[in-house]
Each structure stands twice: as C-alpha cells, then as structure tokens.
Amino acid sequence: MMNSAIFRTLVMILVASLFAISSAATPSDLTRRDVFVPPVTYPHNGTVWKVQQHHNVTWDTSNHPVNITNKIGHIMLRKGGLTTPLVLAAGFDILLGRIEVQVPWVLNGNNYQIVLFGDSGNFSPTFTITGSIDS
C-alpha cells in the first residue's frame, strides 16, 4: 500500500514536470522578441518646465527592432532618483517618438527625470521644474 502511494506521487511529479517543460517558451519563441529601449531626447539637461505647462516628451525611435515585445508606452515622473506615482501619459504607441504631457503640481526642484516605459524603463537626463507654491 505504501509503495503504491509513493509510486503514484512519483508519477504525478513526473507528469507535472513534463507538462512544465513542454509548455515553457522555446528558444525560437524567445529570439523573435526584441526589447526596445529608446533614449529620451527631451527633456534634457538644462530644460526648465513650469507647473501646468504642456510639453512634448520626445525619444529616438530610429533604431527600433521589427518585433517589439511591448509597444504600449507610459511616462512617469522621477525626483531625486525615485519614481513617483505620477503618470504623465499612458497607453500610447512607443513608436510615436513623442507625446504631450502636462507638468503636474510638484515641488520646485532641479533633479526631476522622465521615465519612458515600454519594454523597459528609460530615464531622461535630469531637468528642472519650477512654479509651484514654494517658489
């Protein structure tokens, strides 16, 4: 009786292992996917934004791969090396190369960055935001 239970357990483990191996992505599936990390071209060092203004965030799409893993982009704001929960744009095609955003009400500072998400997160150079109440 004990041997029968052990045998059934081993068979179930073997079947589960075979299923996991057979359902895993094959190397050919992985080679068809390309991660696209376009460099942010604006804002750049020296850029000054004022709260409530509208600006185009731009990025270079000239070297994009044919098959991009995730073409849906979104943009968030970073301050002092930490990504804030502020979403400035979402749901756009990463191949557009630009999207208009409105500068949110944030504290004045010269250590802001844009984070462009698609396949991965890519940071802009640091720039300044002014015009909040503490100015």
For position 100, what pLDDT does the model report? 99
| Alpha carbons 22 and 115: distance in angstroms, whole number | 37
Rounded CA Rg of the chain: 23
Going by the DSSP 8-state scheme, the letter that residue 68 receives in this structure is B
Residue identified by tokens 């203004």 is 53
pTM of the model: 0.72
> In 32-105, at which residue ranges do the beta strands (DSSP E only) sit?
40-42, 48-50, 54-59, 72-79, 82-93, 98-102
Contact yes or no for 63/13 (Cβ under 8 A)? no
Report domain extents, the chain.
2-31, 40-130
What CATH number was assigned to the domain covering residues 40-130? 2.60.40
Q: How far apart are the first and last CA of the chain?
A: 80
Residue identified by tokens 């940071």 is 123
Residue 25 tokens read as 């992505």
Going by the DSSP 8-state scheme, the letter that residue 34 receives in this structure is B
For position 43, what pLDDT does the model report? 99
Regions of the chain where pLDDT drops below 50: 135
